[in-house]
Amino acid sequence: MAEKRQIERRTVLKGAAWAAPVVAAAVATPAHAANSVEVPDCPDCFKPALGLGILPGAFTAQAVRLPGSSRHGTVAVLFEASIDATNCVGIFDPAYVIAGVSAVLTMSDGNSYTSTIGAAAGAGTLRTISALVGEFNFTGVELPNGGGFNIGGIGIPYKPRPTSITVFPLITLQAEIGIPPIKVPVDCNPALTWNLNGEFGIGGMTGLGGTVNYTGTATPQR
């Protein structure tokens, strides 16, 4: 009888040894499941909007061409606009951050120029409209001779002017996913375009260079 009890005890211990890894594996399963959860895509819900300041959507731009630089110069654009995120819903935290990545400026002569020199930074909230202040410098812009003042001191409009700007802001959202839940960043890079409404520039370009200033309103292009 004693020998039978010893055999039974060895059998139980052997079974327990095999059972232990199974329990450990079961405990580890939720963590593994959380790591394998797919990160959500950026929601396609960001739209350009009119600025929220005292002068909604106001923009200024300055074109500068240095002496001896042929027909090309630099255009600096500063505008106040907004990002419309009223239709953004889902598993994302309300707050998000914005960092300017690049922008494309289109002139009235049909030429476009890309800039990564500048910024369009800030923060916003989903399901609302949030302010965006952008400032970019575009180089190599074709700026022909023209404008200035005639003999009577009357200004001659400078015809080439900025007509639109497309900003590609890097918007970072926070999503809560998995079991147990973890926070993961989700980057969005929408193309947001504003029309730059202004009649012409004040100033002129000559063989010695020149400066032209523009003012107007940046309205969203839907």
Q: What is the pLDDT of residues 134-150, one digit of tens each?
A: 889 999 999 999 887 65
Domain that residue 24 falls in: 1-36
Please name which of 48, 57, 160 lies closest in space to residue 113, comparing C-alpha atoms: 160
Please, which residues bridge with residue 62 across strands? 76, 213
Unique residue bearing structure tokens 């819900």: 45
Backbone torsions φ then ψ of 188, nearest 5 degrees: -120, 145
Q: Count up the domains in the chain and report the number.
A: 2
Could you say which residues of the chain have pLDDT below 50? 2-34
pLDDT of residue 222: 77
pLDDT of residue 8: 47
Instruction: Classify residue 209 as exposed, middle or buried by CB count within 10 Å of its CB (0-12, 13-18, 19+).
Output: middle
My answer on whether 31 and 113 are in the same domain is no
pLDDT of residue 99: 81
My answer on whether 30 and 86 are in the same domain is no
Could you tell me the CA-to-CA distances from 1 to 5, 6, 12 in Å, in that order?
6, 9, 17
My answer on whether 114 and 188 are in the same domain is yes
Quick one: the chain helix, strand, coil %, rounded to 5?
Answer: 15, 55, 30
Radius of gyration of the chain (CA): 30
pTM of structure: 0.77
My answer on whether 70 and 151 are in the same domain is yes
Structural domain contains residue 41: no
Please name which of 149, 184, 158 lies closest in space to residue 64, comparing C-alpha atoms: 158
